A and B are shown apart, each in its own frame.
With several copies, the nearest count.
Chain A
Amino acid sequence: MPLDILIESVLFYKAVPQNKKRLIGYFKVSEEDFTHALTIIKGRFQAGAMRLLETETEIQLATAPELSEFIESLRKQDMAGDIGKAGAETLAIVLYREPISRSEIDRIRGVNSAFILRNLMMRGLVTRESVTGNGYQFRITTTLLQHLGITDKRSLPQYSEFMNTIDTFDTTSP
């Protein structure tokens, strides 16, 4: 059975985000083969109602962003609302700089971000992984991509613009 079919069936059957590293290990394939299989799935889905979401660490299936309003009409509960200014800038830092530690986030924002990060984690928009001897590092989740209506962060309209600015800034300054 081709790898792309197997991955697609795992995503559909499990219906929750799947860790890419774990799948690569499970199928005993190279990262290249895995990435190639994801490209095949994405291409196949193009014409349909589903999309493959991808972060640096996870993949998941979800409905296409164009269907947002329609699915909303099928739902009983409303999704939780706005993220606020502090939430938005913290998300931006995690999105453009992941994986990133809390102290780095605090330094960029100039304030203690413990509370806002906890709030974002409760909403499932960011997740933390523990790094040995180095506390926690924060990453974005597929749930954040779902709320932004994008299949991966690079498809944000201004992604490369911001990324370039940040890269230039980080390499030229001490």
Chain B
Amino acid sequence: MSTAVAIKTETFEGPMELLIELVEKRKLLINDISLAKVTDEYMQTVRDMQEMSLPNTAQFITLAATLLLIKSKSLLPALDLTSEESASIEDLEERLKRYQIYRDAGIELQSRFGKNIMYESEYTPPRDPLFLPDIFCDSAELGTAMYRVLNNLPKIEIKPTAKLRPTISLEEMIDRLQKRIEQQLQTSFSEIRATETEHKNVIVSFLAILELFKMGNIIITQADRFGDINLESDRVHTPRYY
């Protein structure tokens, strides 16, 4: 975690923008290897955003789940991905590559914009204009027109997060798992998988385990290549002092 360079000042409108930035900063191409590499930093940035309670964090977390999936596959090659999971990884790479093209094209537009403007004729209103009213020039008609205008005003946006099912935050999941591991001392991924009904939560819980593993709080063992993954809190073996 300490190696991650936190991006402090820049704010990102969307997850794609952040992800592209992280990949390109390392001069990498978009593939599973580069995405696994930037996962930590992505997670850190999203965590920072959560702390600053920036809006739209939900969409960043959704993408974080896919990223952590990529990362975990790179850490545990034996991990068997469902076809749905593989598809979500492919889809992310695809979307990111597509986004990158338009982002690059946008950079070209931005560099030209306003540099050599081609002007249309300046408008000078006629000195003595005609008076050409029409059917709309009537206070009832104009009242109707005004009503239409006000009807089309952008609605004060109801926070999009409210409409979505509440996405569990990474921290919540890590906490929950940690407690559970400490209680049971040993658990296995298939067990967690069975208790989590929602697909997304399965991903998040699994990756949270990997996070714990990375932080040195648990031990992961896998007896054989396609066997179950066993989790153990390492607290018993190596007591920690706080």
Using CB atoms and an 8 Å cutoff, list the residues of chain A in contact with chain B.
12-16, 51, 53, 60-68, 71-72, 75, 79, 81-93, 95-96, 107-112, 114-115, 118, 121-125, 127-128, 141, 143-151, 156-158, 162, 165-166, 169, 172-174
Take A62-B118, A123-B130 as given contacts and tell me if A110 and B102 are in contact as well, using a CB distance cutoff of 8 Å: no
Closest A-chain residue to B16, C-beta based? Answer: A110
Nearest chain-B residue to A17 (Cβ)?
B120
Residues of B within 8 A of A141 (CB): 129, 131
Chain B residues packing against A (C-beta within 8 Å): 13-17, 56, 59, 63, 94-95, 97-99, 101-110, 112-126, 129-150, 152-154, 156, 160
Contact A146 B118 (CB under 8 A): yes
The chain A residue sitting closest to B56, CB to CB, is A111
Contact A89 B113 (CB under 8 A): no
CB distance from A85 to the nearest CB of B (A): 7
CB <8 Å contact, A111 and B14: yes
Smallest Cβ distance from A76 to chain B, in angstroms?
10
Are A89 and B129 in contact (CB-based, < 8 A)? no
> Which of the residues B95, B109, B123 comes within 8 Å of A91, measured between beta carbons?
B109
**Chain B residue with Cβ nearest A119:** B132
A108:B153 contact, CB within 8 angstroms: yes
Given A89-B148, A156-B139, A156-B143 in contact, is the A65-B118 Cβ separation under 8 Å? yes
| Pair A64/B135 contact, Cβ less than 8 Å | no
Q: What would be 25 A-B contacts, judged by CB atoms less than 8 Å apart?
A: A15-B121, A61-B120, A62-B118, A62-B119, A68-B115, A82-B136, A83-B109, A83-B134, A88-B109, A89-B102, A89-B145, A91-B109, A91-B142, A92-B106, A92-B146, A95-B109, A109-B149, A110-B95, A118-B123, A121-B129, A145-B118, A147-B114, A147-B117, A147-B137, A149-B118
* Residues of A close to B110: CB separation below 8 A: 82-85, 87-88
Selected from A68, A96, A108, A123, the residue in CB contact (under 8 A) with B118 is A68
Most chain A Cβ neighbours within 10 Å, of B97, B101, B148, B152: B101
Within 8 Å CB of A66, what residues of B?
116
A144–B146 Cα distance when bound, in Å, is 17
Partner of B139, one of A16, A67, A146, A148: A148
Shortest Cβ-Cβ A-B pairs, 5 listed: A157-B143, A149-B116, A111-B14, A88-B106, A89-B106
